[in-house]
Amino acid sequence: MNPEFVRNLRLECSAHRMIAMPLILGLLIAVGWMSGSMESAAATANTAIGILLVLWGTRLAADSVLGEVVDRTWDSQRMSAIGPWAMTWGKLFGSTVYVWYGALACLPLAVIAGATQAAGDDFLPARLYASGLLGQATAMFLSLLLLRGRPQRLRLRVTLTQALAIVATLPFIIGAVLYSEPSRASDHLSWYGVDIPTFDFLFASCLVFVAWAVFGCYRLMRLELQCRTGLVGWLAFSVFLPAYLAGIHIVVGRAGLPLPAGRLGAQVFVAFMTALALTYFAAFTEPKGVTHLRGWLHDLGARAFGRATTRTPSWVVSGIVCLGCAGATVAAFLYGGSRDAMGFAVFTAALLLFAVRDIALLHALTLDSQRQRGHLAALVYLAVLYILIPAFLHAADADEVVQAFVPTLDGNPVASTVPVAVQALAALGLAAGKWRRLAHRAPGPQPRGAAA
Amino acid sequence: MNAAVVQVDGLIFDYPTQRALFGVDCRVDRGTITALVGPNGAGKTTLMRCMAGLEMPFAGSVVVAGLDVLADPRRAHKHMGFLQDFFGLYDDLSVRHCLEFHAAANGIAPAGRRQAVERTAERLNLRDRLDQRAGTLSRGLRQRLAIAQAIIHEPDVVLLDEPAAGLDPEARESLSQLLRTLSASGMTLIVSSHILSELEDYSTHMLILRDGRVVEHCPISGEPAALRQLRLVLSEPVDDLAATLAARHGVDGVLLTGATVASFGFAGDLAAQRRLLADLIGSGLPVAGLAEEVRPMQQVYRDRLRKDGPQANQERWSA
């Protein structure tokens, strides 16, 4: 059996804990049953499943790798011969095995109690299990992602990771609970023109995202274990997510989103915005140290494309997808015959320019990766650029200049792009200057003749 | 000459503001114990971590037991063990479970794990501690357990970073003995330490790093050197001793360290040394002794660093 899973079993599943969990859960559910009905017993069981898997499980999953780093056992794991996939599932399911034990112990009662109800969702426990697994896989994914920057204050980051994972899971948990109400059972959602019960769509989406989260963990684990890892996985996700979200029907007009060019225009625009968000996400979470980028450029220069692929920053991949989506957006609007087409095309171009500015600024502040506060500084400067300066301009009755700092849908084509292009060039200049200082300096003393 | 079990070529490693390794080349022969020494910041730990496949260098290659560590680290790890200066133990697991985990994690088949645990516990004198929790062990025993974890899969190469740090004298002596035993069993050891007198007890080779470069890689004992250092002691002074010695075959670099004492390099084995001694006595020199001059490791280290000049300034890249 997977040695990492067995190790976790030994740590998590002592005889004392194995007895304590069902006893406590049994008492809790009995309290629910005695104070109400079978229905309240089922609700208690389902709540217990949610708390165990989502609140506690995400904590354990986030701690599964970061905890090893804190306890200084991670290097010995990295030195083992356990493969990345075995390490991934061994940690994901091993670290959370105890909460799964508790959650599965609730299952018979949740099912029996649920079945006695006249109306309700028989599959609610299954939806909660799927949401719990999504939360845990997301927590582990985020913890591995944070680990790439070799961060400090890891315990704090475990909490941060857990919180983010819970937030990522919330739509599915809320959906599972909300749509278990009989009155919502008939709600439907249109995805690429196909009507699907919202209930089923959420459950299927949850399962798909579980698969992606586990795959993401596997990919990051490969990187952590120094296995060469290509970009196909991230490219696939960068294509999948925009395509997935673009398919969800947006009610034009009623939702207050004045998108022209019909459903196709809306779809490509959503795809573009999603790809843009992924590019930002990758840019903020990728290691951006000068050593990393220098290695990548060196491999490109040496035409070692296989190795260069493994070092290519993920934001470049998402950025390429984003550019493709931007082109499709502009084409859809221009050829869609909308009277606002030019406005949308300009807006799309402005968004791209803002992205160039922001990513260049981010690199200028983080190329020297000894600066732990580089990301924080970038966030502060972006807040100044996006919030403080526009607020100041607004207060100074210079509203027409605001579009130089905030993407504006109905902006002047020149005023909303040229100043942003200038800012982007300035940020690129900053990043290039930093790069020159860091990368092209002599790398220390020259080799001595005595060197063996 | 033994076959190289570790081959490092052109290893370059960069930190964001500083280059840590400048094209390091070295080969470590099978069955040797190499003392990896150098001043603080020389790059010893970085070199070890690159050898272990824990860090990805900017350029270069590391081959261990014929496997490219950078291309396929997981396979290479089956042939390596690494003891870091921190022990990295699972405190809540028993010694037996710690060892079983590392046996399984390093690819030992289920059928052989129990035997591997017993054998390793026996070797490290941990047999009577097998059911004790790792967190309750003393520092010396924790270190033994960490070494046991690193060698349970009988690796070809074991890397040890400051293994004696924090140990009392008795535990250090015990560690020296253990490392000699491991070497005798065929493992190749690379040991990084600041305590040169201890390294001298068991090391066969010394690899000196400075400013991220190899400045010396030489045998310390037990292996024939190309030029051994001999010391001649006379019972009374003679004229032209230096010239007399320099005229002999294989003698180089004669240095008179007193009226009756000379030190010189000699290119020859023990039989050649015997012939040289007979020749010197036969020529009428009042020879009282001729023996190999063993320089303490500390002296070799100091001499080599002195020869290399004052410590170079580490040029920083930071803005």
A70 touches chain B (CB under 8 A): no
Q: ipTM, 2 decimals?
A: 0.84
Q: Are B21 and B210 within 8 A, CB to CB? A: no
Do A227 and B74 lie within an 8 Å CB cutoff? yes
Burial A154-170 (b: 16+ CB within 10 A, else e): beebbebbbebbbebbe
Q: Are B147 and B251 members of one domain? A: no
> Which chain A residues touch B78 with a CB distance below 8 Å?
81
Lowest mean pLDDT, pick from A199-213, A437-451, B76-90, B149-163? A437-451
Domain boundary among A229, A254, A284: A229
Mean pLDDT of A305-321: 89
Which pLDDT tens digit goes with each residue over A185-243? 677 888 888 888 888 898 999 999 999 999 999 999 999 998 888 889 999 999 999 99
Mean pLDDT of A343-353: 90
B97 touches chain A (CB under 8 A): yes
Which positions 7-36 of A are in contact with B (Cβ < 8 Å)? Answer: 7, 10-11
Please give the pLDDT value at position A440: 64
Q: Are B109 and B133 members of one domain? A: yes
Q: Considering only CA atoms, which of A145, A7, A134, A132 is closest in space to residue A65?
A: A145
Beta bridge partners of B210: B213
Which positions 217-236 of B are in contact with A (Cβ < 8 Å)? Answer: 217
Q: What is the DSSP letter of A363?
A: H
Q: Are A364 and A393 members of one domain? A: yes
Helices (H), B165-254: 169-184, 196-202, 241-246
Tokens read off for A204: 């299927």
Assess if residue B100 is contained within a domain.
Answer: yes
Tokens read off for A96: 């959370």
Q: Are B76 and B149 members of one domain? A: yes
Assess if residue B237 is contained within a domain.
Answer: yes
User: Tokens 């290479």 identify what position?
Assistant: B76
Please give the pLDDT value at position A382: 95
Tokens read off for A75: 């290097």
Q: Considering only CA atoms, which of A90, A98, A88, A94 is closest in space to residue A143?
A: A88
Q: Are A115 and A256 members of one domain? A: no
Q: Are A192 and A281 members of one domain? A: no
Q: Are B101 and B122 members of one domain? A: yes
> Which chain A residues touch B25 with a CB distance below 8 Å?
452
Assess if residue B117 is contained within a domain.
Answer: yes
Q: Which of A1, A69, A79 to mutate to test the interface with B (most CBs of B within 10 A)?
A: A79
Q: Are B200 and B264 members of one domain? A: no
Q: Are A1 and B113 within 8 A, CB to CB? A: no
Q: What is the DSSP letter of B6?
A: E
Which pLDDT tens digit goes with each residue over A85-143? 999 999 999 999 999 999 999 888 777 766 666 555 667 888 889 999 999 999 999 99
* Measured distance CA(A148)–CA(A80) in Å, rounded: 19
Mean pLDDT of B280-284: 90
Assess if residue A153 is contained within a domain.
Answer: yes
Do A444 and B319 lie within an 8 Å CB cutoff? no
Distance from CA of A228 to the nearest CA of B (A): 7
Mean pLDDT of A311-331: 92
Q: What's the mean per-residue pLDDT of chain B?
A: 86
Please give the pLDDT value at position B153: 93
Assess whether pLDDT exceeds 60 at residue B49: yes
Nearest CA in chain A to B151: A80
* Measured distance CA(A15)–CA(A280) in Å, rounded: 47
If one compares A451 and B33, the residue with the highest pLDDT of the two is: B33
* Measured distance CA(A290)–CA(A296) in Å, rounded: 10
Do A6 and B101 lie within an 8 Å CB cutoff? yes
Please give the pLDDT value at position A250: 53
Question: Percentage helix, strand, coil, to 5, in chain B?
Answer: 35, 30, 35
Q: Are A123 and A139 members of one domain? A: yes
Out of B14, B214, B318, name the one closest to residue A452 (CB): B214
Q: Are A322 and A348 members of one domain? A: yes
Do A3 and B307 lie within an 8 Å CB cutoff? no
Which pLDDT tens digit goes with each residue over B251-268? 887 888 888 999 888 888
If one compares B229 and B8, the residue with the highest pLDDT of the two is: B8
Assess if residue A450 is contained within a domain.
Answer: no
Pairing of strands B251-256, B261-266: antiparallel
Q: Are A143 and A221 within 8 A, CB to CB? A: no
Q: Are B189 and B239 members of one domain? A: no
**How many domains is chain A built from?**
2
A4 touches chain B (CB under 8 A): yes
Burial A65-103 (b: 16+ CB within 10 A, else e): bbbbbeeebbbbbbbbbbbbebbbbbbbbbbbbbbbbbb
Instruction: pLDDT band for A370, please (50, 70, 90 cuts).
Output: low
B215 touches chain A (CB under 8 A): yes
Q: Are B110 and B209 members of one domain? A: yes
For position B248, which CATH number holds? 3.30.70
Q: Are B280 and B140 members of one domain? A: no
Identity of residue A274: T
Q: Are B42 and B59 members of one domain? A: yes
Assess if residue A448 is contained within a domain.
Answer: no
Assess if residue A266 is contained within a domain.
Answer: yes
Q: Are A144 and A46 members of one domain? A: yes
Domain boundary among B219, B242, B268: B219
> Which chain B residues touch A81 with a CB distance below 8 Å?
74-75, 77-78, 105-107
Distance from CA of B171 to the nearest CA of A (A): 23
Q: Are A221 and A265 members of one domain? A: no
Please give the pLDDT value at position B2: 56
Sign of the four-CA dihedral B119, B66, B101, B147:
positive
- Which residue range forms the structural domain that includes residue A149? 1-229
Please give the pLDDT value at position A303: 83
Lowest mean pLDDT, pick from A312-321, B62-71, B101-110, B226-235? B226-235
Q: Are A427 and A442 within 8 A, CB to CB? A: no
Helix axes A124-147, A38-50, angle to 10 degrees: 10
Sign of the four-CA dihedral B277, B281, B286, B288:
positive
Lowest mean pLDDT, pick from A28-37, B126-135, B268-277? A28-37
Q: Are B91 and B158 members of one domain? A: yes
Q: Are A222 and A246 members of one domain? A: no
pTM of the predicted protein model: 0.84
Domain boundary among A199, A229, A259: A229
* Measured distance CA(A48)–CA(A43) in Å, rounded: 8
Q: What is the DSSP letter of A419?
A: H
Assess whether pLDDT exceeds 90 at residue B250: no
Assess if residue A290 is contained within a domain.
Answer: yes
Please give the pLDDT value at position A195: 87
Which positions 247-306 of A are in contact with B (Cβ < 8 Å)? Answer: 289-291, 294-295, 298
Q: Are B57 and B141 members of one domain? A: yes
Assess if residue B319 is contained within a domain.
Answer: no
Which positions 192-211 of B are in contact with A (Cβ < 8 Å)? Answer: 211
Q: To 5 degrees, how large is the angle CA A406–CA A408–CA A411?
A: 120
Torsion of CA B177, B179, B180, B186, to 10 degrees: 150
**What kind and span of H or E run contains A196?**
strand A194-197
Question: In this structure, how many other beta carbons lie within 10 angstroms of the beta carbon of residue A307?
Answer: 16
Q: Are A194 and A317 members of one domain? A: no
Please give the pLDDT value at position A114: 66
Domain boundary among A208, A229, A250: A229
If one compares A51 and A306, the residue with the highest pLDDT of the two is: A51
Q: Are B206 and B282 members of one domain? A: no
Assess whether pLDDT exceeds 70 at residue A155: yes
- Which residue range forms the structural domain that includes residue B259? 228-293
Instruction: pLDDT band for A444, please (50, 70, 90 cuts).
Output: very low
Q: What's the mean per-residue pLDDT of chain A?
A: 86
Question: In this structure, how many other beta carbons lie within 10 angstroms of the beta carbon of residue A194?
Answer: 11
Assess if residue B311 is contained within a domain.
Answer: no
Q: Are B266 and B250 within 8 A, CB to CB? A: yes
Helix axes A314-334, A232-247, angle to 10 degrees: 30
Q: Are A202 and A273 members of one domain? A: no
Beta bridge partners of B190: B34, B159
**Three-state secondary structure call for residue B310:** coil
Out of A71, A77, A452, name the one closest to residue B217 (CB): A452
For position B85, which CATH number holds? 3.40.50.300
Assess if residue B306 is contained within a domain.
Answer: no
Which positions 5-44 of B are in contact with A (Cβ < 8 Å)? Answer: 14-19, 22-23, 25-26
Q: Are A222 and A248 members of one domain? A: no
Lowest mean pLDDT, pick from A183-187, A318-322, A388-392? A183-187
Which pLDDT tens digit goes with each residue over A228-269? 888 899 999 999 999 999 988 755 444 444 555 567 788 888
Q: Are A106 and A136 members of one domain? A: yes
Nearest CA in chain A to B58: A295
> Which chain B residues touch A298 with a CB distance below 8 Å?
58-59
Q: Are B39 and B55 within 8 A, CB to CB? A: no
Assess if residue A221 is contained within a domain.
Answer: yes
Assess whether pLDDT exceeds 50 at residue A10: yes
Please give the pLDDT value at position B86: 80
**How many domains is chain B built from?**
2
What are residue A274's phi and psi, to 5 degrees? -65, -45
